[in-house]
């Protein structure tokens, strides 16, 4: 493969939608609505996740937030954040479809409070029901190969494995597992979701061949969210281009970068 900068323009296709950006951004816990809007624009993202709870009750705050998101012209990806059972996640997804007028859903079923690790049993159950109901499911999952198989069998067309616990900013906890997942499902869109804290973390997973990254806290809780959003946008592009360019393999020994042919000799300096 001969990679060129224009290869970055090749769209990422998710459920039939062609996207230029490979960064998905969350919309929670920003210092202000204005900073959220500026961050979305600075990142260049085309998909933003939105929680149904943000829109609860048709409150003025919810209406204002929804208006701001629409002004950015991004595609909305509702999520089932906070759901602890398959039944709760299914009900939330159905309500989100009515509120946001989309059959896209980021499916979360949380099973453990301290790590916010997905309940993979409830996740597969909910994914099967929602896919059967016509939803385009984006499942937040672990890096387990067996769970990945079950989700694909349930009807999911992509996978969103975590790098580390939500909001931890730790980066990649298990690089071996993420590489194994990429190798095992070469044709399935894979989006790293959760745990990235710095642009270098995004570069690392994109260099592994992942198709995109989704993050929230790393931008919303940064000292300068707008600048950090831009940094992540650039990092995703850099990581993608590096993957296409095929990085050199590590070596145990040094190798001169300057060829010896034509080197002057017999000259005293």
Q: Where are the domains of the chain?
A: 23-243
Q: Is 217 annotated as a binding residue?
A: yes
Q: Is 79 annotated as a binding residue?
A: no
Please give the pLDDT value at position 257.
76
Please give the pLDDT value at position 109.
96
Question: Which residues are designated catalytic?
Answer: 106
Q: Is 49 annotated as a binding residue?
A: no
Statement: residue 1 has pLDDT above 60: no
Q: What superfamily in CATH does domain 23-243 come from? A: Aldolase class I (3.20.20.70)
| Cβ contact 26:48 at 8 Å | yes
Nearest to 220 by CA among 37, 1, 18: 37
Reduce the DSSP state of residue 187 to 3 states and report it. coil
How confident is residue 128, by pLDDT bands cut at 50, 70 and 90?
very high
Give 129-162 pLDDT, tens digit per residue.
Answer: 999 999 999 999 999 999 999 999 999 999 999 9
Q: Is 195 annotated as a binding residue?
A: yes
d(CA 86, CA 120): 10
Please give the pLDDT value at position 250.
84
Please give the pLDDT value at position 188.
97
Q: Exposure string (b/e) for 50-76, b if CB count within 10 Å is 16 or more?
A: bbbebbeeeeeebeebbeebeebebeb
Half-sphere exposure of 214 (CA within 13 A, CB side): 26
Give 45-82 pLDDT, tens digit per residue.
Answer: 999 999 876 455 445 555 667 677 777 789 999 999 98
The arithmetic mean of pLDDT across residues 32-39, rounded, is 92
**Beta pairing class for 23-26 and 212-215:** parallel
Half-sphere exposure of 83 (CA within 13 A, CB side): 27
Q: Is 80 annotated as a binding residue?
A: no
| Cβ contact 118:108 at 8 Å | yes
> In the sheet that 47-51 helps form, which strands lie side by side, from edge to edge?
160-161, 136-141, 104-107, 75-79, 47-51, 23-26, 212-215, 191-193
Q: Residue written as tokens 């204005």?
A: 34
| Cβ contact 24:210 at 8 Å | no
d(CA 139, CA 47): 15
**Other CB atoms closer than 10 Å to residue 82's CB: what's the count?**
14
């Amino acid at each position: 493969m001969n990679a060129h900068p224009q290869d970055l323009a090749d769209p990422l296709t998710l459920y039939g939608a062609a996207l230029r950006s490979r960064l998905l951004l969350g919309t929670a816990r920003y210092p202000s609505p204005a900073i959220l809007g500026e961050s979305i624009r600075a990142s260049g993202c085309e998909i933003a996740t939105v929680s149904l709870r943000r829109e609860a009750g048709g409150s003025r705050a919810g209406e204002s937030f929804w208006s701001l998101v629409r002004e950015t012209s991004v595609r909305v990806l509702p999520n089932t954040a906070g759901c602890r059972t398959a039944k709760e996640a299914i009900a939330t997804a159905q309500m989100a479809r009515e509120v946001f007028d989309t059959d896209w859903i980021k499916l979360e079923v949380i099973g453990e409070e301290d790590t916010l690790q997905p309940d993979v049993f409830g996740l597969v159950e909910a994914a099967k029901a929602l896919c059967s109901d016509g939803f385009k499911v984006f499942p937040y999952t672990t890096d387990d190969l067996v769970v990945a198989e079950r989700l694909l069998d349930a009807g999911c067309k992509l996978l969103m494995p975590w790098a580390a616990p939500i909001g931890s900013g730790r980066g990649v906890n298990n690089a071996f597992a993420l590489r194994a997942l990429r190798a095992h499902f070469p044709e399935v869109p894979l989006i790293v979701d959760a745990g990235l804290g710095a642009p270098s973390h995004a570069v690392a997973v994109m260099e592994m061949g992942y198709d995109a990254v989704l993050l929230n806290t790393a931008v919303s809780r940064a000292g300068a969210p707008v600048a950090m959003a831009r940094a992540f946008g650039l990092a995703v592009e850099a990581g993608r281009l590096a993957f296409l360019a095929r990085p050199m393999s590590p070596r145990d020994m040094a190798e001169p970068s300057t060829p010896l042919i034509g080197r002057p000799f017999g000259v005293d300096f």
